[in-house]
Chain A
Amino acid sequence: MRRYLDPNQLNVAPGAARHLPLVWMLLAASATVLGLSLYPLWHELGLLNQVKAQQAALTLSMRKDAVAQRKQLADQGSSDALERDKIKAQLQESVHMSWDGIFDALEVAADTVHAGVSILSLAPARVHGTATQLNISALAANVPIMLAYIEALKRDPRVSQAEIITQQPDEKVGPAVIRFRLSVTLNPKITVAHAAREPASAPLATSSAPQGKLVGTQPGILAPLPLVPLAPTAIGRASAPPVPARR
């Protein structure tokens, strides 16, 4: 038989407490114990999250630095590239501007020495402001022809300066043959339009002096002109094969 009856279980009052205060206190105590036991874990989790956040921030800053560096390099490179492009454009402009002129100048000069000089190579050296400097490697039949060639170049209005850089005999080619290098500075006053107005293919020298034959028009290296052996001390005229029209 039930020996205990709690009348509160029969309480029908609307505002009656459904649980004893003891129950609430036990619940509060349990919650407190649970909270105290979980607090260290929560604290550790907070520290862990903090460390992770710091790591993420550090990684992000490192990435940003790397990106900034790359961007800086890219800017430099782009600026360098722009500079190079600018120089190239200037060079190309000046070279393009003067290619026709320099070819004509070289051929006119060669005419004067009756093809006693063969151009081995031609390459732009540097650009001085708007002036273009070319390095020309050539072979001359002899020293007077070489000197005459240089003088002829100097007299050309398209050339502002022509100077010998090096010279040395090249007996493998022939006796008294001089291999020399010239530094030719083009006249900057000759503009593209002026150069364009010049005959695209400057007529070759009317003289029947042996002329060289241009094989290619690429700047830098030209096919060597056929070297017509001449008398070492005279500017001679010799028959030469017809020169095809220059492109």
Chain B
Amino acid sequence: MTRTNIVVSVAANHLTLDVMQPAPGQSFRSTWQRWLAYLYGQDADNTRIVESITVRGSTKQQGLATVFQQGLAALKQSRFGALADCAVHVVLGPSASHVGLLDLVTDGNVKLSDADRRAYIDVWVSQNWGLEPSDYDLRCIPMGTGGRYLVTAIARSVVETIDALCKQEKLHMRSCMPALAIQLAEQLKREMPRPSANDTPTPQALEVSALLERGLDGERAGTVQFVVCNIAGQLSITRMWLPTAGQVADTVAIQQVVARLCAQHRSVQAPRITMVDWPHAHTKGTPA
């Protein structure tokens, strides 16, 4: 159980390294919680940021290694000091990761093997996202029993680059996942608002959350990921490029997209829109 975690947030034009350590003043209760969290692969105490380094630079292709090395060097020179044996958790923003929902519905008599399922996913990834499946690390988990799968894709080059640099510095790369996956997990934990007895049932009310990738100057990246939920539990995940804030206001652009999503899901009710800025907004929920 590593006590010090380094959360690496990879955005389009910058990279942030947050060093997180357990909060001081541990009690018996907190120790018990820590053990429980450890058993479930989490570390609940690592919520205190003791150091944060942000490096400006493009993280596309070869730029990622340069930016990451600069960040590690700056971290070593900071008051934090030694990096050896720290756990590294990489969180990729919407511009560096792909998340989507795949409906692979078959009749009850057809059972797909893992190989067949993988083949379907590869085709879906290449057709839906225009990616070469062999260049990406794909993950697929079922969402319920209706044949719906949550699919994520992260470029292998990103994973290998960060892993190699971590090994150079004797760091342990413990996780690498899209920021939207964390956001989605938190969203699913929250219960949908239940209508009171006096309210008219609105089964088609939507809750739309938009994950916005912010730069160092607060500017929004072009890629935005939308997660749509309704009270019945259906989800859709949409990744799209929106004009930057210089041209269109964020709220306007997002509302336009939300309107289209509502129309797509035949919802006439006013949706509840949540805009989530990333990074910084997700450091607390990062798993150990």
Contacts and interface: CB of A to CB of B under 8 A. Distances in A.
Interface in A1-36: 1-17, 20-22, 25
Given A13-B173, A14-B173, A6 B185 contact: yes
A2 B163 contact: no
Interface in A175-234: none
Nearest to A26: B39
A76 B112 CA distance: 87
A179 B184 CA distance: 138
Contacts of A10: 139, 141, 150, 152, 177-178, 181
Contact of B39 (A1, A14, A21): A21
Contacts of B142: 2
B: interface residue count bin: 35 or more
A17 B288 CA distance: 11
Nearest to B139: A10
Interface residues of A, number: 21
B39 A16 contact: no
B235 interface: yes
B137 interface: yes
B287 interface: yes
B181 A7 contact: yes
Contact of B188 (A3, A13, A17, A25): A3
Contacts of B176: 11-13, 16
A1 B173 contact: no
A135 to B, nearest CB: 109
A21 B177 contact: no
Interface string B175-199: 1111001101100110000000000
Give 7 closest A-B pairs by Cβ, nearest first: A1-B233, A22-B39, A12-B137, A13-B176, A5-B185, A2-B143, A10-B139
26 contacts: A1-B143, A1-B229, A1-B232, A4-B185, A4-B188, A4-B189, A5-B181, A8-B41, A9-B141, A10-B152, A10-B178, A10-B181, A11-B139, A11-B175, A12-B152, A12-B176, A13-B175, A14-B159, A14-B173, A15-B174, A16-B174, A20-B39, A20-B41, A21-B41, A22-B39, A22-B41
Interface of A: 1-17, 20-22, 25
Given A8-B177, A10-B141, A12-B154, 14 more contacts: A1-B144, A3-B189, A4-B188, A4-B189, A5-B150, A5-B181, A5-B188, A7-B185, A8-B175, A12-B176, A13-B163, A14-B159, A16-B174, A16-B175
